Homo-oligomer: A and B are copies of this chain.
Amino acid sequence: VPAARALARTILMPATALLAIDWGTTSARAYRMSGAGEVLGIRESPLGIQQIRDGAFAAALRALQGDWNDIAAPRIASGMIGSRQGWIEAPYLDCPAGRDDLARSLATAPDGSLAIVAGVRYRDAEGIPDVMRGEETQIVGALADGTGETLAILPGTHSKWAVVRGGRIEQFATFMTGEVFAVLKDHSILGRMMAADGAAANDEGFRRGVRAARRAGVPGALLHRLFGTRTLALAGKLETGAVADYLSGLLIGSEIDAGVEWARHCGVAADRATLIGASALCTRYAVALAEAGVAVEAAPAAAAARGLWAIATRAGLVR
């Protein structure tokens, strides 16, 4: 009977062709993938690189893999694991960079267990650099055939806007939207007027914030408009339960206004964009982008896994 079970497993379960890991600052997610590039299983761990002490990356990888440790398949990872604070630094590729460039530039973990995808760097006209690690792989995964053109938006702590042409990231810009929201919520006078965490999202408050960020004919910039969060609440024109969402809308709306202007400067119409990332945050961005007249297409789920698969395939890790 055990032999029959093993046989059944061999027949019914597709073999693992790749273990693909999205390894960031605060968490790690591993995907077990078939030879056809399908996701067969997912394992998650809070062992982001920030949580790993004394360079214990190999132990963290074992913990993340659990009962996948014995699987004989190539491993590949993207994200902050390839940063200076990660396992080994995978140097940045300069733009333009796409699937093939990334496949040619893989670093290898010191113990040989893992290929690591490089980050991507862009220098603007005045030489101020911008960097991404992990998002380049998600962008590759979001392109249907690896050669598409799109304006990609990846909402997050540090949101990225990227102009993609011929499957390569040509230019990109980072916006500190998520982190600025978090520090203002937790540490500024604005946070003191907010309802406790866990309150229901206030969609109308969010939309009001987005519109306040985009008001035409009323000059002033974000540093001024932020204060409106306080004064509206003080004046009883914004209820406690809507303050956090108003602030979120104000910041996301400001990012979108600046991002659309930036995209046009890059020669992109910015009338449509591909949203990549966690669904709740992407839904917020979709609402705000609609206010700005930008049509949105959602990237397929598990864009990181798809991107790692595409890069591993082009690198010859998977055959």
Contacts from A to B (Cβ < 8 Å): 124-131, 158, 173-177, 179-180, 183-184, 186-189, 212, 215, 217-224, 226-228, 231-232, 234-235, 237, 251, 254-255, 257-258, 261-262, 264-265
Contact (Cβ within 8 A) B258 A227: no
Closest CB-CB distance, A128 to chain B, in whole Å?
5
Contact (Cβ within 8 A) B180 A224: no
Contact (Cβ within 8 A) B175 A179: no
14 further A-B pairs in the complex, CB-CB below 8 A; given A129-B232, A174-B231, A222-B222 = A125-B217, A125-B218, A126-B218, A127-B237, A130-B231, A173-B224, A176-B227, A180-B223, A183-B184, A187-B187, A221-B257, A221-B261, A222-B254, A224-B262
Contact (Cβ within 8 A) B126 A223: no
Residues of the B chain whose Cβ atoms lie less than 8 Å from the Cβ of A180: 180, 184, 188, 223, 226
What is the total number of copies of this protein in its complex?
2
Residues of the B chain whose Cβ atoms lie less than 8 Å from the Cβ of A124: 218
Closest 9 CB pairs of A and B: A221-B258, A175-B223, A174-B227, A219-B261, A219-B265, A183-B183, A183-B187, A128-B228, A129-B231
A234 to B184, CA, bound (A): 24
A234 to B224, CA, bound (A): 29
A212 to B179, CA, bound (A): 20
Contact (Cβ within 8 A) A173 B258: no
Residues of the B chain whose Cβ atoms lie less than 8 Å from the Cβ of A235: 129
Pick from B128, B183, B189: contact of A232, CB under 8 Å:
B128
Contact (Cβ within 8 A) B255 A223: yes
Contact (Cβ within 8 A) B177 A220: no
Q: List 25 A-B contacts (CB under 8 A).
A: A126-B215, A128-B212, A128-B228, A129-B232, A130-B227, A131-B231, A174-B224, A174-B227, A175-B224, A176-B188, A177-B223, A180-B180, A180-B184, A186-B187, A218-B265, A219-B258, A219-B264, A219-B265, A221-B222, A221-B261, A222-B222, A222-B254, A223-B254, A223-B255, A224-B258
